[in-house]
Structure 1
Amino acid sequence: MEIIKDFIQGTPQTPTQNRFIVVHDTGNDKSTIDGEVSYMKRAGLQNQAYVTHFVDDKKVVQTAPSGKISWGAGNINQFAYAQIEMVHVAPDKFSQQVELLGQLLKQLCSESGIPGYFTNGTNNGIITHNQAAKYFGGSDHTDPDSYVISRGWTMDKFRGRISEIINSQSSQAPKPTQVKLEDLTLSVPFRAKGACWVSNPDGAIIYKDAELKEPTSQVVPFGSAWQIYGAGDGGIFTIGNNLYISQSDAVAKFSRGMGMGDYTGMTAVVTADDCYTQTIPEAGQAGVSHLEKGGAYRINRQSQDFKFVDLGKDQWVDTSKLNIVL
């Protein structure tokens, strides 16, 4: 797939927190991709509104760099690796546009490590402008729902086909390489149960129910990692709010600290900008030393309520500002 680069000059180069790819539509049945790109290059910065890509049924044009902030969907902008506008095409060309959009999203997901399935914002993934506005605010747009529906598709069909394209396996793809579970590392929130890695080469189907009787059209890709919020005896991992995958599709590491009630010797990673040590493990104490975000420390002991850990001699830190390395 060729991506034609025709960049807007002078866009901000602020790196984004790569959690989402946002899908829009232009809202104009009479425009063309060339016209939309021309207008965006001329007026995007002045209007404080621009995206990174445009797609119709024939080509993809990139107007701003991926991984840098773009102004397309309100408060989600800082988290959006890319934002894509679907230019309106005739109903009989819409399926071709969906195929091209799917290929673009597949490439962008591969580049960024963002999961190739649609989300409402609870987990990282692809998100519509409609869901971004509802979950993050700063916008009242509802696209691309009405455009998709006007072309004779349901949103479930649209999301399902995009996920199929992204997660399809090429016949030329190499066979998966087996990875030892002990070689997998990830940090998770202090009180998380652990993490799982999708080991099924075809990905893991997301289910709506813990009995795995209601599959969705969403598939999380092979090799992706997910925090575990729950693990049931029925062979399920809970990876989000009412989001379940089968344990047969993934391998997992559980937090020894949570399981045994002892985090001593484990490694904590600072995840907050405002992380300070204090002399006693109680809320509301004055900070002593600032710990840089991303720093890793050995846990020496913990408070009885698990709300604080000691990272040195009486250097207590609030565990809500830390992740634990599995």
Structure 2
Amino acid sequence: MVYFTMKREALYDITPAYAPYNRIRRSLIIVVYIAISIAAIIYSHFSDRTFLGDPLVDGYTSQVHYIWNYFDGNNSILDLDPLLWIHALRAFIAYIFVSLEDIGGSPLVSFVLLLLTAPIVKIFASLKRGYLIFLLPIVEAGVSDRTFLVIISVSYLIIFIRNGNPYLYLPISFVFSNLSSGSVMNSLFISTTVARNYQKNSFSLYVYITSLAASFVISALDKYQGFSEERAGYDSTVYGASGFVAILSRSTIFVSFVDGNYARVLLYVIIAAVALGLMIFAIKNRNYRGYVMIMLSVIPSLIFEGLGFMSLLVPILLFLAGEKLPWRPAKPEKAVE
């Protein structure tokens, strides 16, 4: 009787008769993912994408070159201002991937990026709509390497929430999060809410939160002071604006609209609408209520920075694939004596 009253979703996952089918499905998802990844790697060989862009146009590349030139002069990292410590971390990541690029070109960089998604693929392979993970190598082929690392940063935080293992996932999440102030903001928001409910006894999590908070405060204060004092490189897109208003005017979605890049604006609006729609669904469904805070972080991303949007890609796909995330983990049932 219990067998026939089980929900179809539960039956799909745990009924022994379905076990061979589930194993085949998981294997098929992994095989297809590898095939799409190979296609993405081949595509990167014919593209003109490089890890760093033009330093006169790309702010991230400009930061990296400044740090590299600083160390070329045999200067000490201890003499750097706090903000430049963050830039030094970004420059270190760039050094690793530019070195890979020098060895094997863009295909080697793409291979390493997609290799980093292995823990993510493992989760999707066990989900009913796990085929959604096929979007990830397609995204990798279409965005910058830095953007994809930002996507991985929040993904690894979600994996930590789900599986633990802080010594592997949290350091990588922290390092890659610092590639964008938007992903730092999202990771900090998620880690202080959902992650604390699931891994509240993890000392590593509190180190992660404290380090992210310090990084965010340093970046936020520097930006506010820069725009308030109208320093070079902190130019508002709205004439006469300064301080917080100037910061808002430099948001990716606002700049994209001003520049006439309506396709990017539309993409961000779609992501925001999907995330907020999922948030409403999550509020009403206790099995997905942990996603509420994750999807809520789309609001500051909409206001401040576009990369914050992209960092939420995997959580959105996990939600759509059917990965449950209650607000708090279920308490283990006591054995019946």
TM tier, smaller: under 0.3
Higher strand share: 1
Higher helix share: 2
Structure with the larger RCO, 1 or 2 (CA within 8 Å, 6+ apart)? 2
Scaled by the length of structure 2, the TM-score of the pair is 0.26
Scaled by the length of structure 1, the TM-score of the pair is 0.27
